[in-house]
Amino acid sequence: MTGKQTLLQNLPADLDIKRLPRHIAVIMDGNGRWAKRQGLPRIIGHHRGVDTLKNLLRCCRDWGIQALTAYAFSTENWGRPSEEVDFLLTLFERVLHQELQEMILENVRIQFVGNLLALPRSLQSEIQRAMEATALNQGIRFTVATNYGGRQEIIQACQAIAREVQSGRLQPEEITEALFADHLYTAGVCDPDLLIRTSGEMRLSNFLLWQMAYGELYVTETLWPDFDRQSLYQALVDYQHRERRFGRV
C-alpha cells in the first residue's frame, strides 16, 4: 500500500485514537454558493453535496467514528422555492434507493430524524425500507435529519411527556434530563462531541438545540461540496486541541 492509500484508509498518525469524537454532526451548508461560484444552477451544488456526504460517511467509518449525523433538510427549508424543495426531496429518495445495498454491505445503520410524516409518501417508504434493512447493522450509526427542527423536536417531546403525565403513567417530578432526552428523535444516540458547519455561517440554524449543550463547534469557510478527507482531518486536529471543561475548572 502506498503512503497516499494508507492516508485514505487509516487514521492519520498524528490524530490520537483515544480522543476522537464518538459522534460527529454536520450542517452541510454552501451547496448553492458553490454552484453559483461555478456559474451553475443551485441543484448541481446539491448533487455534488451528496457525493461529499457519501465520502464523509466512509471516512468516518474508516477512522473509527461511531456516529455521524447530517442535517439534510430543515423545517425552515420549506420556505425555499418549490422547485428547489421538490428537487431536494426527490434527490434524497433517489440516493437512498441507489445507496441502500451498499450501506447494507458496509454494515451502516441508517436512521432518519425529523417530522417524517410530512414528507412525500414515496420518500417515507424509502426511509422506512432503509431503516428496517439496516436496523441490525453494527457499524457506524448514520442519522439523517430530514424535515428536522430542534424546536419542533423539543415541542413534540413535551407533548409526548405531557400525555404520559395526563394519563397518570408519569409524575412531573419524574421528568429528568435523561427522560427528556429519551423522548427526542435522537433517543439512544449519544450527544455529538463535535458539530462541523461548512461555509462559514456561525449559527445552529435550529439543529440539535438540546443535544449541542456541550458539543464543540467547528466552522470552516470550505463550502460543503469541497469538504473532503483533508477537511475532516483538519476539523479533528482542531477538536483534539480543545479542552472540554463541561463547566469545571
Active-site residues, by number, are 29, 77
57 sits near ligand IPE (criterion: CB under 6 A)? no
In the bound state, the residue with its beta carbon closest to ligand IPE is: 32
Among 52, 69, 75, 77, binds ligand IPE (CB under 6 A): 77
3-class secondary structure per residue, the chain? CCHHHHHHHCCCCCCCHHHCCCEEEEECCCHHHHHHHCCCCHHHHHHHHHHHHHHHHHHHHHCCCCEEEEEEEEHHHHHCCHHHHHHHHHHHHHHHHHHHHHHHHCCCEEEEECCHHHCCHHHHHHHHHHHHHHCCCCCCEEEEEEEECHHHHHHHHHHHHHHHHHCCCCCHHHCCHHHHHHCCCCCCCCCCCEEEECCCCCCCCCCCCCHHHCCEEEECCCCHHHCCHHHHHHHHHHHHCCCCCCCCC
Q: What mask, x for binding Mg ion by CB under 5 A, covers residues 26 to 65?
A: ---x------------------------------------
- Residues between 126 and 155 that touch Mg ion (CB under 5 A): none
Question: Does position 56 bind ligand IPE by CB under 6 A?
Answer: no
Shortest reach from residue 29's CB to Mg ion, in Å: 4
30 binds ligand IPE (CB under 6 A): yes
The residues that touch ligand IPE, with contacts defined as CB under 6 A, are: 27-33, 71-74, 77, 88, 199, 201, 203, 205
Residues in touch with Mg ion (CB under 5 A): 29
